Amino acid sequence: MAPRESYSLVYAPLVKAHLKAIEPKHYSLIRNEIEIQLRFEPETETRNRKPLKRPIVSEARWELRIGPGNRFRVFYKTVRESGEVQVLAIGEKKGSKLFIGGKEFEP
């Protein structure tokens, strides 16, 4: 069996500001899940990883749902040529509303 291809994770500069709107106690959970879910096969659709029908954040093509009740959303795209997963935004779902960096977005 061939080893799986590993992608490097690249975080957009704005992600740091997005995290400030989330309680710090969730940071390690978010970081660990991103590592586990996106390091290998980031473009494989799963129950909590889906391609976006329309981009919520510019250039994002995929959404990863993580955390208790899947309340956190990670929006990303892959660049196969360079072997990168670019994390473009991290948000929090509260009821039917999505907040990224404390601002409400239309899901």
Instruction: Please enumerate in sequence order all residues whose Cβ is within 8 A of that of 29, keeping only pairs 6 or more positions apart, or say none.
Output: 66, 67
What does the block give as tokens for 5?
């291809």
pLDDT in tens, 58-72: 899 999 999 999 999
Query: What's the pTM value of the predicted model, to 2 decimals?
Result: 0.92
- Which secondary structure element, helix H or strand E, spans residue 79, and what is its range? strand 72-79
pLDDT at 8 > cutoff 80:
yes
pLDDT at res. 3: 53
- Which secondary structure element, helix H or strand E, spans residue 95, and what is its range? none
Which domains are seen in the chain, by residue range? 8-105 (3.30.2310.20)
> Counting runs of H as helices and runs of E as strands, what totals does the chain give?
2, 7
pLDDT in tens, 13-61: 999 999 999 999 999 999 999 999 999 999 999 999 999 998 888 899 9
